[in-house]
Amino acid sequence: MKEITYRDALREALVEEMQRDETVFILGEDVGRYWGGAFKVTKGLAEEFGDERVRDTPISESAIVGAAVGAAITGMRPIVEIMFGDLTTLAMDQIVNQAAKIHYMFGGQASVPLVIRTPFGGGVNIAAHHSQSLEAWFMHVPGLLVAAPSTPYDAKGLLKTAIRNNNPVFFCEHKLLYPFKGSIPEEDYTIPFGSARVVREGEDITIVATMFMVHEALSAADTLKKEGLSAEVLDPRTLVPLDKEALVASVKKTGRAVIVSEGCKTAGVTAEIAAVIAEEAIDYLDAPLVRVAEPDTPIPFSPPLEKAVIPNKDTIIKAVRNIA
């Protein structure tokens, strides 16, 4: 095993898959040799693989994803980097109406092996147009797979799986996770989609958390342990497919659940996970389900206000205490 950052884990996955398969290429704004991506994930790749396979594009998310869809259906495996997740709004027709539906609408005669990588989340004080968490939007689209890794190990393994998949994958990253360090194997590995991970075993309550909130949940679990509460922390890792069996198994064991996500509460990731538990494990619940999410508001630019709306360790602890 070796210690590596989330950023470098993503880069390693890109390098290894580009070495393995010549049809894999990267395109996006400032991904090439002069910048290396907005968060430096693609730094050095243009020098290694050339400008044809690491392609800087014009500032048009619609054109970037449209070109990638065309490349994918003709046999290439494009990886799109959208600089901020909020900017996927500028390519929604290409993502939702084209990439996600082509395999179905052509009766299986065409596939779209496309990966769209993009960072979500707040905490870096860059206001409402660059701080949203819109993962739930893409969960709602039949034909898209949605990955949301929280560790370097998961980032590398899930990205390699995404690149090899013949379906379009929306790959959610979190800005605050890029410098986060963790252990990964030296050897090649992949992580299957639809396989949740119990990050921490517990007996009294299940905390289901995604992306950066996994680490907030772990911090909350440490504090709760001192109070005599044993919290199990479950990371779905992929939102589509969602590992319902793991969710149900954990709730059956603990009898209580708090669901945490950084997106807005209404119709968000927490709502879908809560619905799954309510439909498939309600008889095992000893207390109401509780959701911890952002209020339905734009992300403020003001640092104190931004901190106030984003879920954290303290809001998770408060939610657990309310039903423990």
| CA dihedral of residues 269, 208, 79, 56 (deg, nearest 10) | 80
Backbone angles phi, psi at 293, to 5 degrees: -155, 175
Task: Measure the CA–CA gap between 1 and 104, rounded to whole angstroms.
Answer: 41
Contacts of 103 (CB under 8 A, 6+ apart): 110, 111, 112, 143, 167
b/e per residue 302-324 (b: at least 16 CB within 10 A): eeeebeebbbbbebbbebbeebb
Task: Measure the CA–CA gap between 191 and 173, rounded to whole angstroms.
Answer: 16
Catalytic residue ranges? 130
Q: What is the DSSP letter of 13?
A: H
CA angle at residue 236 from 235 to 241, to 5 degrees?
A: 170
| CA dihedral of residues 102, 104, 109, 114 (deg, nearest 10) | 40
Q: Among candidates 242, 230, 312, which has minimal Cα distance to 271?
A: 242
Contact at 8 Å (CB) between 227 and 257? Answer: no
Cα distances (angstroms) measured from residue 257 to each of 12, 53, 195, 278:
35, 45, 19, 10
